[in-house]
Structure 1
């Protein structure tokens, strides 16, 4: 019995060891370490800051565009610092969930196409190319303009679906180099189901490239969700939102710049941090291939 299971368990053990080695290499990358540290600080800020804000997110603190408070007030006289402290939750949650959905859908599409091969591969990837032809922001705007009050799950779905074809191309390229390896053929020869072969043999050996792609997708998700908020497509028009704050206060930029600069800085720092993480993961993957 043990001899029969060796072709399956050994590659799985090697994949587990490879993941540990990959994470060690990633932590050794200065880009990843810096990006990860800053991302954690941003996440902690988004979670903890609302409990310590000087005012409520919709509470009036003074005249519009005044200098009262640390960063002054916005176009309605609301405290800018308090709005910033409350405004990251929706962007963070929607970006992370949209990225996870896009990764799951994209990996599923790419691995099935690579493992199926032949006509399955051609049909799936050509349909994937059709969706890929639509710009992400355009696809989201077309759907959201037809909906009066978009719920959070709709924006998550749009972000995930817009990411899926891009992830699928990466996943397919990585999977093509794995599905023909000996341990996959051995698992098939033992009569293992294709779904089990994919889960136990193929996916564990794709960890590095997929994590790097996930970091890149998260960066794009933050930018996309912030852009939708700027264009007025937020889940709650009255709630604080970094992207929406840019739109609300853009006319008073010369009078009270912090109402725009503060949320811009938060979005920029967050996207730069996630991009550094993605670069560090990509470098760790390349070093593992050397």
Structure 2
């Protein structure tokens, strides 16, 4: 990895590290400590939010949960999507039925999926994991199918089948190891998409993690006092960008390498 790539990597590692190490520095209280929307200096390092709470303390404590939920949703989506993608490589009726459902989910906007599920199930971690899984699985399944088909037509897969290996063994031993690079790169893309979706849910006021202490919710909550203390909204927005922007660039580079 060359110069600029290292810069993006350092920024990403720093932002993720801050998200998980930050709670160690968040020694303050979640209750009001001063007047609402005090600017930096008068109300602490980054001032206070609308309820008089220290923005720096909340910023330090609000990143880990957001990243963990996005990572959990990505893991679930990849597991389900890869399984469905391998099913789609078959020509059996089951594969056609799965393909119809996947195609149907592909045309449903992720924001619409989020609003329907949140209004139906309420906000919280389980709902957001479900939303991000439903939004990502169709793309993972289609990507897996497209990547797996050339491998399934290869000579060594044919030899394995002629040797008596069943399809489950062929998928695990011969197909998936050859898809590891592309699938890992796609997982990075899904993780970024999950973060964007959680951030959008927070901006719309859905309280995606069931509270108001995560970066996504802080962005929306701080907008009403942005003229008084812009850092109440700007600081968590920059924190999210510090994760998503370098991750997006690095994943894009990784995707170009694995497809060459």
Aligned partner (choices 55, 59, 79) of residue 28 of structure 2: 55
The 2-side partners of 1:181 and 1:122 are apart by 23
Residue 66 (structure 1) aligns with: 38
Instruction: For residue 233 of structure 1, report the CA deviation from its aligned partner.
Output: 3.0
1:132 to 2:106 alignment: yes
State the TM-score, normalizing by the size of structure 1: 0.83
2:150 maps to which residue? 177
Any conservation in 1 of the 2:65–2:214 contact (CA below 8 Å)?
Answer: yes
Q: Does 1:156 align with 2:129?
A: yes
Q: Partner of 1:165 in structure 2? A: 138
Q: Within 5 Å, give how 1:70-149 maps onto structure 2.
A: 70-114=45-89, 116-117=90-91, 119-148=93-122
Check the 8 A contact 2:66/2:209 in 1, yes or no. no
Within 5 Å, which residues of 2 pair with 1:1-290?
Answer: 28=1, 33-56=6-29, 58-67=30-39, 68-114=43-89, 116-117=90-91, 119-148=93-122, 150-231=123-204, 232-237=206-211, 239-287=212-260
Gaps of 5+ in 2: none
Q: Check the 8 A contact 2:219/2:232 in 1, yes or no.
A: yes
Work out the CA distance in 2 between the residues paired with 1:109 and 1:224: 23
Distance verdict in 2 for CA 1:156–1:29, change over 3 Å: farther
Q: In structure 1, list runs of 5 or more residues that go unmatched.
A: 1-27
Contact 1:188 1:197 in 2 (8 A): yes
Cα distance in 2, alignment partners of residues 203 and 29 from structure 1: 30
Preserved contact between residue 124 and residue 207 of structure 2 (Cα < 8 Å): no
Q: Distance in 2 between matches of 1:211 and 1:29?
A: 21
The one of the two structures with greater contact order (alpha-carbon pairs below 8 A, sep at least 6) is: 1
Q: CA deviation at 1:89?
A: 1.9
User: How well do the aligned residues superpose, as a CA RMSD in angstroms?
Assistant: 1.8
CA distance in 1, matches of 2:149, 2:246: 31
Runs of 4+ in 1 over 6 A off after TM superposition: none
The Cα offsets for residues 185-228 of structure 1, whole Å up to 9 and x where unpaired, read as 11111111211100110111111211221111111110101111
Count of residues in correspondence between the two structures: 256
TM-score normalised over the length of structure 2? 0.92
User: Could you tell me how far apart the structure 2 residues matched to 1:120 and 1:189 are?
Assistant: 24
